[in-house]
Amino acid sequence: MSSFKLVWRNLMRRPLRSILTILSLVVAIFLICGLRTLITTLNAGVENADSRRLAVMSATGLFVELPMKYQADMERIPGVELTTKFQWFGGYYRSQKNFFAQFAIDPDTMFDMYPECQVPAQEIEAFRQDRTSCVIGASLAKEFEWKVGDMIPIIGALHPHPEDKAWEFRVAGIYHSDVPNFDNRTMFFHWTYFEETLKQGGVPPGVGVFSIRVEKGANVDDVIRDVEDVFHDSEQRVDCATEAEFQRQFVTMFGNVPLFVGWIGSGVVLAILLACVNTMLMALREQTTDIGILKALGFTDASMFGLLIAQSLFLCVLGGALGLLVAWGTQGMIAERLGTMFPGYTIRPATFGFAAAVALGIGLLAGLVPAGRAGRLRCVEALRGTD
């Protein structure tokens, strides 16, 4: 009888137990993939940041507006190639549960600054022509079944329309992005429309964030220092940071959440490790007589150690592989459910690797104690009886 067959037969001695153990592993590995992806998704913005792009915001906080005139001052700084401005609109479509981000932007510079925001050329042109129009992300278009030409009413919670009604935007184009730090669930509309409408109510808008692109070859640190210095004595001081740093600051705002996710993950691993050890100890107890016989027949201690370890590894590798498959298969569904709260949920190859290593580790650890005992069992004792 080949050794694989021996392993297989032993596992099939209690098929239900093997299946339940495998299912536990499926659950654990699925959870590990999911939890770890929450963390990697959070950090995706940092890793994918463009090193030549800078973000400028008020040194006081994201909610403090900067004067529009700052843009011209920044463009005079040596090393600055392109600038563009954003303002958070903070509105919602019909009710707050339909939340998505909207930004007032400058259509002449925004698409140059963010080539990852892909819009067909004629749609960009249409957008530039019509100042009450907007471009929306592909996921947004899908979710609300909006298409080019539709009118979207948005209630301005943060920037109420001076005529006390909803703002209306015509969809001029639909954008696509393949990078995780530029989500597909945002609406961009004309700065001029924003500015002119707000001026009717007597309050001109301010700028939330300016983006700067640094010339090739220019020293990024010098530009950052110059930008902060220029506005040191102006009405609002600014904080200028690379895109990566800006994203990192954002991640730190999640505070202890990544740590908690880590704790939960450790708890999952612990629970499943205990379950597997339990299964393997039961297996050892049942196979004690067999091991006695095999040893009496001349099988070595090492091969008995291997017999138990192989069973444990088999369960964990199979369970782990199925768990990876489930995690991979449910990825799209989970991404959809997480929506705006957590855009860009995609499991990375490294995460799959990590989860596979965890499964393998559980298999080895869970097999170790019973396998050690099996190896050390004395033939006579083993033959004398089970519990």
* CB-count burial class (<10 Å; 0-12, 13-18, 19+) for 337: exposed
Looking at 8, 46, 48, 59, which residue binds other proteins (CB under 8 A)? 59
Residue 248 binds other proteins, judged by CB under 8 A: yes
What gap in Å lies between CA 20 and CA 247, rounded to an integer? Answer: 43
Residue 14 binds other proteins, judged by CB under 8 A: yes
Looking at 217, 252, 298, 349, which residue binds other proteins (CB under 8 A)? 252
Residue 275 binds other proteins, judged by CB under 8 A: yes
Rounded to 5°, angle at Cα 230 from 225 and 232: 90
Closest among 161, 157, 154, 163 to 189, alpha carbons compared? 154
CB 49 within 8 A of CB 184: no
Looking at 24, 37, 87, 288, which residue binds other proteins (CB under 8 A)? 24
What gap in Å lies between CA 284 and CA 282, rounded to an integer? Answer: 5
- Please tell me the number of Cα atoms within 13 Å of 155 on its side-chain side: 9
Closest among 29, 91, 68, 92 to 326, alpha carbons compared? 29
Residue 275 Cβ vs other proteins, minimum distance, rounded to whole Å: 4
3-state SS assignment for residue 368: helix
Looking at 6, 7, 27, 374, which residue binds other proteins (CB under 8 A)? 27
Looking at 236, 303, 330, 331, which residue binds other proteins (CB under 8 A)? 236
Site map 118..157 versus other proteins, x via CB under 8 A: -------------------------------------xxx
What gap in Å lies between CA 205 and CA 105, rounded to an integer? Answer: 12
Q: Which stretch binds other proteins (CB under 8 A): 110-118, 141-149, 262-270, 309-317?
A: 262-270
Per CB under 8 A, residues contacting other proteins are 14, 16-17, 20-21, 23-24, 27-28, 30-31, 58-64, 90, 94-97, 155-158, 160, 235-237, 239, 248-249, 251-257, 260, 263-264, 267-268, 270-272, 274-275, 277-279, 281-282, 285-286, 341, 387
